[in-house]
Structure 1
Amino acid sequence: MSSITTRRFLQTAATLLVGIVLAACGKQEPAPAPKAAAPAAAPAPAAKVYVVGTDAAYAPFESQNEKGEIVGFDIDVVKALAQKAGIEVKFVNTPWEGIFNALNQGDRDLLVSAVTITDERKQSMDFSNPYFDAQQLMAVKSNSKIAKFADLKKLKVGVQNGTTGDEVVTKLQGKDSANIKRFESTPLALKELEAGGVDAVVADNGVVIHYVNNNVGAKFKTISDASFVAEQYGIPVKKGNAELLAKINKALADIKADGTYDKIYASYFGAAPGAPVAAAPAAAASK
């Protein structure tokens, strides 16, 4: 009996030993901790959109079409500049009387609104190189006896408030003249001429010609005068914004060099830059 018991004891012990060894061999190492996920790449900053102020009541330079979209010569020029410069622009209709303040306060990054370059304006804003040659022009009724600018000395004259047309008429009649009728836009002044409320309108020749050609029933004629000096339009930016100004000037030179500017000009004025703009006796424009 004892020998059998001993044998069973040894067998049992052997079995237990093998089980222990197998259990030890089968022991699994703990799974490695998962690697921390790489932080997601920060999204690229959105490209700056430059806000362009424009008084969209000055066809053919800037106006609103039937869909409310801002269109015109100036708009097409800036769109072409933006494409060349690789920048995005957004046009915002901005009343003329507050347009310069909007620029100076930073609400607009640049302006395109048939803005004449003047020494006075250069003191508060920086201008691009000129992009349009302009001049003042008179509009009168077709049966009017007015023949020259001096004839307006004592007559009622309509102008757009704060424009160079306003300036030249003020110099002629005096700053206290009650005969100067100021309007928010040149088309409103021309409507007043049509109604007989003023004897003449003095404004940029581009907008005057466009109005006369598109309102034949008004029976206007246009008159130029040797006293009207040549003017040039520029694109204003906030004083000291040299980086944006450099981009605009470079792009302006590029679209003039590759023919883009000439195509835009011809599509609005039917001629190459420098040629007279077709109309009842006249030529080009300015604010």
Structure 2
Amino acid sequence: MVTTPRTLAFATAAAVLLAASACTPQVQPAPMPTVSMACTKDSLPTETAGKLTIATDEPAYQPWFVDDKPDNGQGFESAVAYAVAEQLGYARDDVTWTRVRFDAAIAPGPKNFDFDINQFSITDERKQAVDFSAPYYLVRQTVIALKSSKIAGRTALAELRDARLGAQVGTTSYQAITDVVRPKSEPRVYNSNDDAKKALQNGQIDGLVVDLPTAFYITGAEIDDAVIVGQLPQVGSPEAFGLLLDKDSPLTGCVSAAVGRLASDGVLRQLEEKWLAQDAGAPELT
């Protein structure tokens, strides 16, 4: 599992669009937006008539994409993109992919795509320059450990209660330890994730709690002998990822409605389970 340093930078963003239930991990259905046009292939004013142009960064990393090929439909975000396209009436052959740097996508100015999917955290600051769809993913808190740790391979929350867990101070990760895991001993608190990672490597804690994108980065690119133990049930108001569109795009309402239907129908949940829990080795702790 490999991701990009970009992921680590935005993985700790605090502002979110949608609060989730404390006991359900899936994306919650968002209120259906009011749209002023028919959300059909024939009526949508896309970059190219009859086609849907979707952007992402290069390279595109697992588990969000597979083999740096967004058009293969594999990986969580590739699968979500094609599901949204289908909701809007576009067949797979009607979808065109383009590569746009993360920073360029969130910058003000006209876009050369219909929407971009690239783990964009929805924030009020970014909404000054671009539009976002309803959330397609709410970031989960995740326990990671060294392969040699006594908690590596555990599958239940109850099996973590005798562990020494740590997290960065003042984060949702720390809240997840106290509110969800409820270990017998007080969590260890660190000023930064860097300090917490050192404590994990030095054996001062059995497990470290971070958000899932950060967990993929740490276990895939930073600590060779670290593994994901599992994802925790949702807690608090998590960070949310949304599809990014041009500011005041005429497509925003239709794209948001498509995401909302996918959430209501349980499709986003199914894709999350397949690509983030099963294929990416981040099982859910129950």
Answer with 1 or 2: which has the greater Rg.
1
Greater helix proportion: 1
Of structures 1 and 2, the one scoring higher in RCO (CA 8 A, sep 6+) is 2
